[in-house]
Amino acid sequence: MSDNGMQKINEVIRRIRPMDPDLDRRVQARLDDQVMPLRALGRIQSLGKQVALIQGKERPEIRHKRIFTFAGDHGVVEEGVSAFPKAVTREMVRNFVRGGAGINVLARHAGAGVVVVDMGVDGDLLELSGIEHQKVARGTRNFTQGPAMTREQAVSAINIGISLAEKYGDQTDLIGTGDMGIGNTTPSSAMAAVLTDRPVAQVTGRGTGIGDEALQRKIRVIEKGIAVNQPDPSDPLDVLHKLGGFEIAGITGLILGAAARRIPVVIDGLISTAGALIAYTLAPQTAPYMIAAHRSVEIGHQVMLDRMGLQPLLDLNLRLGEGTGAALGFLIVEAGVKVLNEVLTFAEAGVSEKS
């Protein structure tokens, strides 16, 4: 399975193409000739161009938007790293299906659908309709005692994300990433420390709102997990399977699959960015296909964004996850596309240019 699974991942990576410099020049020429002072709408115009380059056309389209909320549980929760019990993961998945969570509200506001994916919830959700049942296992293992998952499980989870990009890709013009998993800021911070070569304390925040004592325990737990597993920072799959989560791996695969299909991906918060960093480390050419929705209050988030050269659109003190930041980011990305497509040039508008 691992060899075949890696073969598929490598095939997808090979399909991720660089942007067309000639198209870049043509789109920029139109933006520079629009009826306003040069680049007066700043990053809004840049976003429109980014989507055009990803889609490979001068007039990009965004008709169908989807946020993928990947759910999974984490064995490291037993170390007391979260303010909430593990049962909340499956309870929130049920709430997503009912449409009563933050992501449901903000996705409706953005005109986006939500695809809920059970990657590794520690509970039976088979009776729930309207979700993707893709469980790899009932949660990861406690990484203070050994690898969180096997390498084969990590590869399988990435391929699930790729398959979802393939399944929904023909009906989706803009993808957002999201997550649900009690305790998942712990593996995300652990991966951030290893992949950015930062001390654990510099990339570890309070997650669900833990106090000072629990934060220090969380830092010690991550340090122990890294010491026990000795992940290789030059091998992203080694880092992922030793420290990561099934939902994080699913996000990695979704990004790789979307980039291969030339679909822009709006990245949510800390956990989504950990998945994005694995995708980037596997395939640096994914970076132009990613748009960072926001900078969360988690201190490791900006560190990972910097590693990929991504600049967040928003800074609203968000720390929920689920894809909520991505939903808000959709509104700005769509604004950029509309500006590119609908603002007239000076000649088209019959307006005198700057003398």
207 close to 271: Cβ distance less than 8 angstroms: no
Selection from 44, 43, 101 nearest residue 67 by Cα: 101
- Residue pair 189/204 in contact (Cβ under 8 Å)? The answer is yes
Residues 6+ apart with CB under 8 A from 333: 47, 51, 62, 174, 264, 266, 291
Task: Give the span between the Cα atoms of 306 and 261, in whole angstroms.
Answer: 25
Tokens of 228: 């026990």
Which 3 state secondary structure label does DSSP give 209? coil
Q: What angle do CA 35, 39, 41 make, to 5 degrees?
A: 85
Contact 128, 222 (CB under 8 A): no
**What's residue 2's pLDDT?**
66
DSSP state, residue 34: B
| Sign, CA torsion 144/125/268/299 | negative
State the Cα–Cα distance between residues 117 and 104, nearest whole angstrom: 14
CA distances from 119 to 35, 125, 193, 285, 339 (A): 48, 11, 24, 26, 38
- Strand-pair category, 265-267 with 131-133: unpaired
End-to-end CA distance of the chain: 66
Q: Is the CB of residue 268 less than 8 Å from the CB of residue 242?
A: no
Q: Which of 242, 93, 264, 75 is nearest to 165 (CA)?
A: 264
Q: Using CA atoms, how far apart are residues 292 and 275, in angstroms rounded to an integer?
A: 12
Q: Which pLDDT value is given to residue 3?
A: 82
The whole-number pLDDT of residue 354 equals 79
- Give dist(CA 258, CA 247) in Å, integer: 16
Please work out, in degrees rounded to the nearest 5, the angle formed at the alpha carbon of residue 182 by the alpha carbons of 322 and 93.
50
What's the CA gap between 29 and 23, in Å, rounded?
10
Q: What tens-digit pLDDT sequence spans the chain (355 residues)?
A: 568 999 999 999 999 999 999 999 999 999 999 999 999 999 999 999 999 999 999 999 999 999 999 999 999 999 999 999 999 999 999 999 999 999 999 999 999 999 999 999 999 999 999 999 999 999 999 999 999 999 999 999 999 999 999 999 999 999 999 999 999 999 999 999 999 999 999 999 999 899 999 999 999 999 999 999 999 999 999 999 999 999 999 999 999 999 999 999 999 999 999 999 999 999 999 999 999 999 999 999 999 999 999 999 999 999 999 999 999 999 999 999 999 999 999 999 999 987 7
Cβ neighbourhood burial of 285 (10 Å; 0-12, 13-18, 19+): middle
Annotated catalytic residues are 322
Cα dist from 98 to 94, 103, 115, whole Å: 6, 11, 13
pTM: predicted TM-score of the whole model, two decimal places = 0.97
Domains of the chain: 2-60+340-349 (1.10.1610.10), 65-331 (3.40.50.10210)
